[in-house]
Amino acid sequence: MTDLSQAVLLVSCPDRSGIVARLASVVHQMGWNIVQVDQSVDAEHGDFRMRMVLERPDGNSKGSDFTERFETIAAEEKMTISLHPREERPRLAIFCSKEPHCLQDLLQRHASGELECEIPLIISNHEDLRSLSEFFEVPFVHVPNDANRRQHAEATLETLLEEHAIDLIVLARYMQILSPGFVSNWPERIINIHHSFLPAFAGASPYRQAHERGVKLIGATAHYVTAELDAGPIISQDVLECSHRDGVSDLARKGRDVERNTLSRAVRWSIERRLMVQGDRVVVFG
Amino acid sequence: MTDLSQAVLLVSCPDRSGIVARLASVVHQMGWNIVQVDQSVDAEHGDFRMRMVLERPDGNSKGSDFTERFETIAAEEKMTISLHPREERPRLAIFCSKEPHCLQDLLQRHASGELECEIPLIISNHEDLRSLSEFFEVPFVHVPNDANRRQHAEATLETLLEEHAIDLIVLARYMQILSPGFVSNWPERIINIHHSFLPAFAGASPYRQAHERGVKLIGATAHYVTAELDAGPIISQDVLECSHRDGVSDLARKGRDVERNTLSRAVRWSIERRLMVQGDRVVVFG
Amino acid sequence: MTDLSQAVLLVSCPDRSGIVARLASVVHQMGWNIVQVDQSVDAEHGDFRMRMVLERPDGNSKGSDFTERFETIAAEEKMTISLHPREERPRLAIFCSKEPHCLQDLLQRHASGELECEIPLIISNHEDLRSLSEFFEVPFVHVPNDANRRQHAEATLETLLEEHAIDLIVLARYMQILSPGFVSNWPERIINIHHSFLPAFAGASPYRQAHERGVKLIGATAHYVTAELDAGPIISQDVLECSHRDGVSDLARKGRDVERNTLSRAVRWSIERRLMVQGDRVVVFG
Amino acid sequence: MTDLSQAVLLVSCPDRSGIVARLASVVHQMGWNIVQVDQSVDAEHGDFRMRMVLERPDGNSKGSDFTERFETIAAEEKMTISLHPREERPRLAIFCSKEPHCLQDLLQRHASGELECEIPLIISNHEDLRSLSEFFEVPFVHVPNDANRRQHAEATLETLLEEHAIDLIVLARYMQILSPGFVSNWPERIINIHHSFLPAFAGASPYRQAHERGVKLIGATAHYVTAELDAGPIISQDVLECSHRDGVSDLARKGRDVERNTLSRAVRWSIERRLMVQGDRVVVFG
């Protein structure tokens, strides 16, 4: 059913006149159809951003010509353009620790066909989630990691990521810090899930803090990881209601639910090429 | 702040190759900029639909040329095209009966500048909401209406609507039936709010029925009115949670909240030219 | 952490004066503490309903005396009373067919400790979900079932349910009809998940119908199964937003999400003894 | 329809055995019925809290005896007990500045009968909302207030509040700071609405900051005012989704919607005696 002759075109540049006309004409001349367009301009910053879904009616791959043509335009017009044929499924590595809820959700959505990606690698600093990974037939590698052996561990991670030609890292409740050096190698290519509350609680035992403060909503934020901890561009946010009757364990249960849904949604958007970072903001194309 | 040199272009037709390129080129040649595009194709029916927000950088109105040009294209290409300059604010008539909640919400959103329309006329089959209308300085006309004098009443309504050059009728809890003849004069130009539940309850006392059935959600549906009662294309839907502790009056209160929000949102979308009917479905552009 | 010296007391009867005082006194005399009370009266029908969470401070089980005492009161006062010690974990049988999403969700919530029950048995009319069941170490029994061998299949089911001392049947997308005879053996003890929409769509291909109708919400309803198909008392309902851009497969994906959450919540409430049927309505204690 | 022979009993104390039994017996002996109970114990802090709705079947007011009896028990047992006959409608003063959305929402809910209170006084540091107040026939007093004349203004406020026998102050977008001295005179009797975001934005132009940060949710928090600014116990919170397409004015519109709903809900809960502060947390009885 999936039509593999589709591709997504992402375009970003300072706004000016005639961009849509120029690009739509090129697409038409090359014999492709436009199936979907979501384009807008940020009125505050003058940023142009566009996502087009294209289709080759003959199913004949003219991918390389097409890519070259867009590279030329991008250079001439000083745009950022990328073309993503749907058959080039992104390759994900999932990092996890002991908690299964986010990993489980991603793996079953992948198994059900919701996530059009490859998952060739799961990495954990613990052994706990090996059997879950194996049930879904994804290779699991245990890479011990803590403050004392960060450098060595990250060298191992880099080797594994390169061997498996990974495009995107998903931190599915990975409870180790990644060094600024590592993060800078993967710009806009690491997605994390953060248990952020209203108001936010930093530090240990966030659910206990939330209970003490009597919050009425439990939230989660999926974001790109930048060197500045927990402050990267926000991809997706959601909340669940809670009340004074919720004990710490109830808040933790609701937290797991909102975390898994928020993270899986952000990952799906990334795979479907719906995300674009502009400044500190993430554009989520519809 | 509002930039009156903007216009919305709506295009609908059976999908074929090159439409976006052709229209974007015309827009560019005429000296306009494209600020926003939301285009898609319904894969099930092959319907092309597009909303473009355009901007004249010089603020110089070339509206009539522009409109002519699009009329030519529409005829040649068998498309449905409409151009809506932002300064041509749609003119609304609000029909109401005794309940104030939807009327109030629409009027205060209009007063706050959220709704870019004119509201030259409020019509009611009762006197109850006259003072509310007058507070917001909107002319209020009492037109008695019931099964026995439907024909006469509707003739009066048509005269009033014509005198005030009305574009869109909003039924804000108007508790009279409009005849098929009247409805057919206003295709896709009457918006109604319906207290639809999960499961739906027809007939009298819907909140009592909902209470008896023990529903856990109270909903509302805003839809275009067609000759087939309560079955027109759906514009907007929403729900609120409820529980066994909610008595009939609590359900009615929640019903009012969800009705006013759902209707006001549908009306705003209509004013912003975000709506397009295709078959039985309403496209809501983002 | 779990305090096994707790019990839930459920009381239902026509409302009259002094019930709370009488029952609270008995509880106090027997040396138990009241940890939580949720009591109300349905003003429309005069139904009294109450859930108390009780605690034995000494951890000493006086369960049998306690039960006897309440049986006496129930007989004298014509109340329906049941006492559920927390250590008597309900025993669930999950029925499923080919779709994994609801089964998976229930099993992982059980594994994480969210559901305080035993799951000694999974029954399916297909083999597809055997490996999933085995991963979670729950016995899986394949019982072929269709219109031609309904009687034989249901006899087998009854035997299995009895052998495993099952308290509650959960239909986790079980795509076979249960006969009125079978259903009548399990009153208020079978929970089903129904893909109900706004407006509801009966028959085959509900997501295709929903797409045709252009609905803006996708819903699900968890309910007790009665002989009247899809019309039993409603336990839990939820919805997700959708738009014209959602194809049939997107609606199906959202349907799976809302189904699994709605069913798992209803099952958790049942296990925590938060549910009571009164007339056609389900009381969900807070 | 409203049954004025009802009363709400609120009880708070350190948890110990037999409290429910003792109080329920007293209620029964005095000839009242218990219509609703919501009682729980905070497992972390050992706080007992209970709300009972009581009813006098004969409609005969024994209020004063009843109050005395509870005062005796409260003293003996070191509980905090308060009894609120439904006919003693709380008296609200609404403070506002220039923005009408919260005031409007409160006044129309009051007019529709949703809020069972008196509103004898609206106070503002501007004249803008006078006509709105007069439309709803509520006296409006202009009390200029700023950093330079805080002391004088607050003396005037105190006089007005006393003259009108005010029970509860609602800050409906009142853009002046109240001094710690003023606030300490009204403990747990001032409710404010705060435009809190995920993550929170302090300082000027919160919607511009939210836009820059690219948040995906817009929130609001209703809370009791304490001397520590914007840090009082949280009563109610809610959010609305937003996207990169929302400009600053769209975020402001969504902010108004979530603010008015969150504040009105908190005020209704207060009027219905559903709120109790324990430590930094607000218990919201169901």
pLDDT digits (tens, 9 = 90+) for C157-205: 999 999 999 999 999 999 999 999 999 999 999 999 998 754 456 566 7
Partner-chain contact A108 C112, CB within 8 Å: no
Task: State mean pLDDT over D214-242.
Answer: 90
Catalytic-role residue among C167, C230, C250, C280: C230
Over range B76-87, report the average pLDDT: 92
Contact B243, B258 (CB under 8 A): no
A118 phi/psi in degrees, rounded to 5: -100, 145
Q: How far apart are CA C129 and CA C140, in angstroms?
A: 8
pLDDT at A1 (0 to 100): 37
Mean pLDDT of D263-267: 98
pLDDT of residue D199: 47
The Cα C178–Cα C156 span in angstroms is 13
pLDDT at residue A228, rounded to an integer:
79
Answer yes or no: do D36 and C37 touch at CB < 8 A: no
* Nearest-by-Cβ selection for A114 from C36, C112, C253: C253
Q: Residue D245 is nearest to which of B101, B257, B286, comparing CB atoms?
A: B286
Are B112 and D135 in contact (CB < 8 Å)?
no
Chain A residues within 8 Å of chain B (Cβ atoms)? 15, 17-21, 24-25, 27-28, 33-41, 50, 57, 286
Cβ separation of D256 and B101 shorter than 8 Å?
no
- Taking CB atoms and an 8 Å cutoff, what residues of chain A touch B39? 34, 36-38
Distance CA B278, CA B233 (A): 9
**Average pLDDT of the segment spanning D146-171:** 97
Tell me which chain A residue has its CA closest to the CA of residue D211: A281
> How many CB atoms are located within 10 Å of the residue C73 CB?
17
Cα Rg of chain C (Å, integer)? 21
And the tokens for D54? 């009581």
CA distance C168 to chain A (A): 23
Best D221, D237, D251 residue to mutate vs chain A (most A CBs within 10 Å): D237
Task: Determine which one of A3, A65, A146, A230 is catalytic.
Answer: A230
pLDDT (average), residues D238-263:
94
Per the CB < 8 A criterion, the answer to whether D145 and D153 are in contact is yes
Q: C-alpha distances in angstroms, D2 versus B249, B250, C229?
A: 11, 13, 39
DSSP summary character for residue D44 = T
Q: Are A8 and A84 in contact (CB under 8 A)?
A: yes
Shortest Cα distance, chain A CAs vs residue C113, angstroms: 10
How many C-D residue pairs are in contact by the CB < 8 A criterion? Answer: 65
Task: Compute the mean pLDDT over every residue in chain B, rounded to the nearest whole number.
Answer: 91
Report d(CA C277, CA C233) in Å as an integer. 7
Is C236 within 8 Å of B245 when comparing Cβ atoms? no
Q: Do the bridges between strand D118-124 and strand D47-55 make them parallel or antiparallel, or are there none, so unpaired?
A: unpaired
pLDDT < 70 positions in chain C: 1-4, 59-64, 197-204, 229-230
Measure CB to CB from residue A237 to each of D42, D215, D281 and give the nearest one: D215
- From chain D, the residues in CB contact with A200 under 8 A are 198-200
Region D91-284: CATH code: 3.40.50.170
| Residue C59 three-state SS | coil
Domains D6-85 and D91-284 share a fold: no
> Annotated catalytic residue: which of D230, D238, D246, D257?
D230
Q: Phi then psi for C107, rounded to 5 degrees?
A: -70, -40
Res B201: pLDDT: 63
Q: At what angle do helices A206-213 and A248-271 cross, to 10 degrees?
A: 120
Q: How far away is chain D from the Cα of A131, in angstroms, using its nearest Cα? A: 35
Chain A hits for C2, Cβ within 8 Å: none
Out of C213, C239, C248, whose CB is closest to B234?
C213
Contact D24 C28 (CB under 8 A): no
Query: Do D239 and A239 count as a contact with CB atoms less than 8 A apart?
Result: yes
Please name the chains neighbouring D, where neighbouring means 3+ C-beta pairs under 8 angstroms: A, B, C
How far apart are the CA of D121 and the nearest CA of chain A, in angstroms? 30
Look at D100 and B108 and tell me if their CB atoms are within 8 Å. yes
Query: What's residue A197's pLDDT?
Result: 56
- What residues pair up with D139 in beta bridges, in sequence order? none
Choosing among A34, A41, A48, A53, which should be mutated to test the B contact, i.e. which has the most B CBs within 10 A? A34
Q: Tell me which chain D residues have a C-beta less than 8 angstroms from the C-beta of C25.
A: 21, 24-25
pLDDT of residue A211: 83
Residue A125 · residue A150 · CB < 8 Å:
no
B142 beta partners: B124
* A–D CB contacts, 8 A cutoff, strictly below: 91
> Which contiguous run of DSSP H or E holds residue A71?
helix A63-77
Q: Are the Cβ atoms of C217 and B237 closer than 8 angstroms?
A: yes
- Cα-based distances in Å from B25 to A18, B74, C69: 8, 15, 85
B28–A17: do the CB atoms touch at under 8 Å?
A: yes
Residue type, D100: P
Chains that touch C (3 or more CB pairs under 8 A): A, B, D
pLDDT band at D130 (very low <50, low <70, confident <90, very high): very high
The CA-CA-CA angle for residues C29, C31, C33, to 5°, reads 105
E strands, C15-144, in order: 33-42, 47-55, 80-85, 91-96, 118-124, 140-142
The predicted complex's ipTM stands at 0.92
The 10s digit of each residue's pLDDT in D72-120 is 999 988 999 999 999 999 999 999 999 999 999 999 999 999 999 999 9
Q: What pLDDT is stored for residue C44 in this prediction?
A: 83
Is D253 in contact with B114 (Cβ distance < 8 A)?
Answer: yes
**Which candidate from C214, C221, C247 shows the least CB-CB separation from B234?**
C214
B-chain residue closest to C283, CA distance: B244
How close A36 gets to chain B, by Cα (Å)? 4
Q: pTM surpassing 0.80?
A: yes
Yes or no, beta carbons of D238 and A217 under 8 Å apart? yes
Residue D146: active-site member = no
Rounded to whole angstroms, how far apart are CA atoms D173 and D263? 10
Q: Which residues of chain A have pLDDT under 50?
A: 1-2, 198-199
Q: How confident is the model over B155-184, as a mean pLDDT?
A: 97
Q: Give the integer Cα–Cα distance in Å for C121 and C133.
A: 9
Cβ neighbours of residue A242 closer than 8 Å, sequence gap 6 or more = A215, A216, A217, A218, A250, A251, A254
Euclidean distance between the first and final Cα of chain A, in Å? 22
Report the mean per-residue pLDDT for chain D: 91
Of A101, A245, A261, the CB nearest to C286: A245
- pLDDT at res. B62: 55
What pLDDT is attached to residue A203?
63
> Residue B239 above 50 pLDDT?
yes
Which CATH number does the domain A6-85 belong to among 3.10.350.10, 3.30.428.10, 3.30.70.260, 3.30.200.20? 3.30.70.260
H helical segments located in B43-97: 63-77
Q: Is the pLDDT of residue B68 over 90?
A: no
Token pair 């929170």 in the structure block, residue: D200
Q: Which of B15, B37, B286 sits opposite A20 (nearest CB)?
A: B37
Angstroms from B104 CA to nearest CA on chain D: 8
Chain D interface, mutation test: which of B3, B101, B114, most D Cβ atoms within 10 Å?
Answer: B114
CB pairs under 8 A between B and C: 91
Closest CB to B198 among C43, C235, C237: C237
H/E segment holding residue C163: helix C150-163
Give the type of residue at C71: E
**Cα radius of gyration (chain A):** 21
Q: B175-225, pLDDT tens digit by residue?
A: 999 999 999 999 999 999 998 754 456 566 778 888 888 889 999 999 999
Q: Which residues of A touch D196 (CB under 8 A)?
A: 198-199
| Strand-by-strand arrangement of the C190-194 sheet | C140-142, C118-124, C91-96, C168-171, C190-194, C217-224, C234-241
Across the interface, do B212 and C247 touch by the CB < 8 Å criterion? Answer: no
The residue with tokens 């309803």 is C221
Domains of chain A, by residue range, sit at 6-85, 91-284
User: Is the CB of D39 less than 8 angstroms away from the CB of C34?
Assistant: yes
Q: Smallest CA–CA separation between B243 and chain D, in Å? A: 10
Q: Is residue B64 predicted with pLDDT exceeding 90?
A: no
